[in-house]
């Protein structure tokens, strides 16, 4: 190796630190810190991940992990099963919603303040391995024991699919993973059978994921050979991604919902729909992540995600918002800047340079690049909707805990009284006793509304959120969103436009 090369300099420095430094040095950590230091001086999205972080990061995107297949919440230091995954190992062995898992392989996990990730680590494990769980079930005095054989558990990336109104379908995509295109096709088919003529595609809070998944989703909405996105970088030639044709929803009214946390792959879909004048984008300016990372696997299972290119919408807009190399803190605080500048309340406070002006491909409308996707229809953030008192109740988990307690005590009678969701949605009201319990617990924790007006402002939102949570635990996320969306300003604006 050339002794004058920068690489030799780095190795020489590391060798001397390891050999001569006054205290013992962890060579592995020193190398990891060195890699992180190099990447931090580049852009905000080039990162280093340890082998453990790589595994945790990939599981949701790959669309499965290996475990026992339960959705759960922690209630007063006890794991409460909300639902079993349909067809999963726990359901097959007879675990029920409402069960409390108190031990795993004869180690207590209830009442011992065990961290949530440690509990998950004990429940998860390779497919085909056995785990013995101890379960406490309402009305049964003995602890039940179940020998469960772990298996692959599917992770859904689509949060909700339902008919928003007659003829109007609604699909909310939480992230773009390996299974998203198949899930999306399934959702479209289901809604078409129910008479969908128009579609509201909700990408609010969708942080992105796989580029290819975004391309395949957009393919279902655009005509054959329509350009969806292209990537280009210093050492990476232009690479175009086009719609394959025979899309399930190439025609029909389409509205895409976005907000400040809509990023990356979700911005690719939004940008393509907007540039082709295929549909209307509604909400607030998206995050602005248009950097393409290449994963570089290192021998020990760790990984560098290195930015190699930008992505561009069909009209040629770069989605990436501006950043200064090495100034990660400023970049991370962009949402705070948007709030302070008034951008989230008024579209007029966003100013783009003329050099960032582009035109849509069909109707030649003006659109701007260089900082996310600006919606066609701006919906201001309603900062008055959630009172300070409501945010405190939520932050201290008083709302979620109250709903879990209520479901735990009334699941059987609720299922008998409301065999179908439509009846529940129409007639169920949160009992006053539940509200009183939350307010009493809040007082115990020294949380109080500043006056009667704040309490009056809090109660309707609190009742709605509780009802949605009860519906989620009895049925699922489709029902949760069908309740909560009735007060979502962005969803309501979409309905108004349709």
Q: Which among 178, 177, 127 has a CA at the least distance from the CA of 150?
A: 127
For the question of residue 264 being annotated catalytic, the response is: yes
> Alpha-carbon distance 237 to 287, whole Å?
25
Mean pLDDT of 288-310: 88
pLDDT of residue 223: 96
Q: Which among 208, 205, 204, 193 has a CA at the least distance from the CA of 162?
A: 193
pLDDT at residue 302 tops 80: yes
Question: Which residue among the candidates 289, 302, 473, 482 is catalytic per the annotation?
Answer: 289
Question: Which residue among the candidates 99, 151, 259, 275 is catalytic per the annotation?
Answer: 275
Q: Which among 249, 250, 228, 226 has a CA at the least distance from the CA of 239?
A: 228
pLDDT of residue 6: 82
Contacts of 101 (CB under 8 A, 6+ apart): 70, 72, 79, 81, 109, 110, 123, 133, 134, 135
Would you place residue 62 in the very low, low, confident or very high pLDDT band (cuts 50, 70, 90)?
A: low
pLDDT of residue 213: 95
Q: What single string gives the DSSP state of each residue in 354-413?
A: GGGEEE-TTT--EEE-SSS---SEE----TTSS-HHHHHHHHTTHHHHHHHHHHHHHHHH
| Tens digits of residue pLDDT in 151-182 | 988 778 999 999 999 999 999 999 999 899 99
> Alpha-carbon distance 495 to 169, whole Å?
11
pLDDT at residue 267 tops 90: yes
Q: What is the dihedral of CA 368, 370, 372, 377, to 10 degrees?
A: -20
| Tens digits of residue pLDDT in 381-411 | 988 889 999 999 988 889 988 998 898 889 8
For the question of residue 251 being annotated catalytic, the response is: no
Query: Exposed, middle or buried: residue 396 (CB in 10 Å: 0-12, 13-18, 19+)?
Result: middle
Q: 321 and 295 in contact (C-beta within 8 Å)?
A: no
Q: Which among 227, 223, 273 has a CA at the least distance from the CA of 375?
A: 273
For 144, other C-beta atoms within 10 Å of its C-beta total 14
Greater confidence, 367 or 338? 367
Please give the DSSP secondary-structure letter assigned to residue 283: E
pLDDT of residue 353: 75
Q: Does the global pTM surpass 0.75?
A: yes
| Tens digits of residue pLDDT in 79-105 | 888 878 877 888 888 888 888 899 999
| Tens digits of residue pLDDT in 430-464 | 999 999 999 999 999 999 998 999 999 999 999 99
| Tens digits of residue pLDDT in 190-206 | 999 999 999 999 999 99
pLDDT of residue 8: 84
Mean pLDDT of 247-273: 96
The residue to which tokens 């079930």 are assigned: 137
| Tens digits of residue pLDDT in 2-54 | 767 788 888 888 888 888 888 888 888 888 888 888 888 887 888 888 888 88
pLDDT of residue 60: 61
The SS3 of residue 47 is strand
pLDDT of residue 63: 63
For the question of residue 225 being annotated catalytic, the response is: no
Question: Which residue among the candidates 264, 270, 302, 482 is catalytic per the annotation?
Answer: 264
Radius of gyration for the alpha carbons in the chain, expressed in angstroms and rounded: 25
pLDDT at residue 259 tops 80: yes
| Tens digits of residue pLDDT in 338-355 | 877 777 777 777 777 777
């Amino acid at each position: 190796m050339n002794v004058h090369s920068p690489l030799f300099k780095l190795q020489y420095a590391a060798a001397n630190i390891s050999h001569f430094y006054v205290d013992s040095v962890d060579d592995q950590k020193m190398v990891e810190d060195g890699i992180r230091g190099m990447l931090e001086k580049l852009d905000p999205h080039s990162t280093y991940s340890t082998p453990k972080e790589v595994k945790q990061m990939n599981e949701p995107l790959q669309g499965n992990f290996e475990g026992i297949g339960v959705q759960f919440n922690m209630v007063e230091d006890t794991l409460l099963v909300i639902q079993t995954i349909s067809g999963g190992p726990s359901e097959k062995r007879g675990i029920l919603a409402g069960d409390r898992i108190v031990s795993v392989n004869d180690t207590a996990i209830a009442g011992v303040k065990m961290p949530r990730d440690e509990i998950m680590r004990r429940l998860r494990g390779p497919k085909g391995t056995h785990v013995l769980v101890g379960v406490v079930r309402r009305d049964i005095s003995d602890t039940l024991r179940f020998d469960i054989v772990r298996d692959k558990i599917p992770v859904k990336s689509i949060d909700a699919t339902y008919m928003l109104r007659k003829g109007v379908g609604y699909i909310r995509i939480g992230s773009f993973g390996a299974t998203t295109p198949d899930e999306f096709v399934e959702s479209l088919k289901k809604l078409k059978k129910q008479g969908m003529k128009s579609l509201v595609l909700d990408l609010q809070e969708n942080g992105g994921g796989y580029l290819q998944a975004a391309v395949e989703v957009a393919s279902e909405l655009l005509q054959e050979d329509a350009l969806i996105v292209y990537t280009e970088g210093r050492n990476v030639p232009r690479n175009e991604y086009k719609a394959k044709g025979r899309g399930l929803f190439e025609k029909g009214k389409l509205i895409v919902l976005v907000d400040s946390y809509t990023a990356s792959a979700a911005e690719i879909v939004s940008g393509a729909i907007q540039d082709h004048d295929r549909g209307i984008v509604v909400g607030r300016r998206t995050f602005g992540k248009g950097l393409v990372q290449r994963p570089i696997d290192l021998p020990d299972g760790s990984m560098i995600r290195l930015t190699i290119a930008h992505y561009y919408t069909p009209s040629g807009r770069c989605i990436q918002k501006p950043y200064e190399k090495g100034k990660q803190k400023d970049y991370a605080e962009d949402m705070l800047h948007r709030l302070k500048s008034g951008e989230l309340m008024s579209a007029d406070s966003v100013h783009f340079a003329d050099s960032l002006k582009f035109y849509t491909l069909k109707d030649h409308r003006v659109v701007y690049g260089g900082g996310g996707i600006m919606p066609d229809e701006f919906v201001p953030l309603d900062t008055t909707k959630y009172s300070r008192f409501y945010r405190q109740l939520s932050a201290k988990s008083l709302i979620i805990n109250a709903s879990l307690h209520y479901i735990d005590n009334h699941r059987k009678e609720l299922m008998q009284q409301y065999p179908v969701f439509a009846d529940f949605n129409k007639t169920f009201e949160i009992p006053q006793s539940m509200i009183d319990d939350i307010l009493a617990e809040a007082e115990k924790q020294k949380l109080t509304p500043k006056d009667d007006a704040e309490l009056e402002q809090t109660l309707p939102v609190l009742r709605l959120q509780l009802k949605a949570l009860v519906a989620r635990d009895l049925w699922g996320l489709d029902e949760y969103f069908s309740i909560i969306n009735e007060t979502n300003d962005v969803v309501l604006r979409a309905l108004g436009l349709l």
